Amino acid sequence: MARLILSLDGQVMAEYNMNKERYTIGRLPDNDIRIDNPAVSGHHSLIINILNDSFLEDLNSTNGTYVNGKLIKKHALQHGDVITAGHHQLRFVEDDDNQQDEFEKTMVIQPSQRPVERIQAAHAAVEASTQTGATTTRRALKDPASVPGASPQKKAKLQVLSGAFAGRELELTKTLTTLGRPGIQVAA
């Protein structure tokens, strides 16, 4: 979860957890983050949180809103950004929990063979081709399953689920297979 740390002259005054969708920053009491200082406008700026991203927008404040010393109208907040409103600073901090959660959502898909096994199979194919000559190489290019150590390739099939040909299986052996009647309905 992101946080804002409010400070004045290096002294931390407050800390805000960014657990709502919108936060208003300003001098008036109806703001979520109230900064009681004449240099801060009544409704100075707005932070909008969308999923794990936060965006800052200046609300036409008198003295402007600055991020890292630059005057902004709108800005996508990043970890460590310093927002200046009047004489106060708000440091935007993204906790490591947020980054860890994103990592945990990543799914690792394991291939059918481990890389070491694939390398060993390729090495065996090279060994076989150098031992028996060009014949094995030609055979390996035409049918990779015929090489010692290579796994057999599975053939793709389509099965008709309904209609006059229900239950029939069609083996896919070509690069492009078309189904249907030409001129009526064809799928490729």
Check: pTM over 0.95? Answer yes or no: no
Residue 111 neighbours by CB distance under 10 Å = 8
Strands 33-34 and 22-26: parallel
CA–CA dist 81, 126 (Å, integer): 55
CA–CA dist 90, 3 (Å, integer): 9
Q: What is the pLDDT of residues 19-72, one digit of tens each?
A: 899 999 999 999 999 998 999 999 999 999 988 889 999 999 999 999 999 999
Q: What is the pLDDT of residues 131-155, one digit of tens each?
A: 555 555 555 555 555 555 555 667 7
Name every residue whose Cβ is closer than 8 Å to that of residue 100 and which is 6 or more positions away in sequence: none
**What are φ and ψ of residue 90, in 5° steps?**
-120, 115
Residue 144 DSSP class: G
Q: What is the pLDDT of residues 68-117, one digit of tens each?
A: 999 999 999 999 999 999 999 999 998 765 454 555 555 555 555 455 66
CA–CA dist 54, 17 (Å, integer): 12
- How many helices (H) and strands (E) would you count in the chain? 3, 15
Longest CA–CA separation in the chain, Å? 88
Name every residue whose Cβ is closer than 8 Å to that of residue 42 and which is 6 or more positions away in sequence: 26, 27, 28
Q: Which domains does the chain have, with CATH numbers?
A: 2-103 (2.60.200.20), 154-188 (no CATH)
Please name the residue that has the structure tokens 């980054």: 99
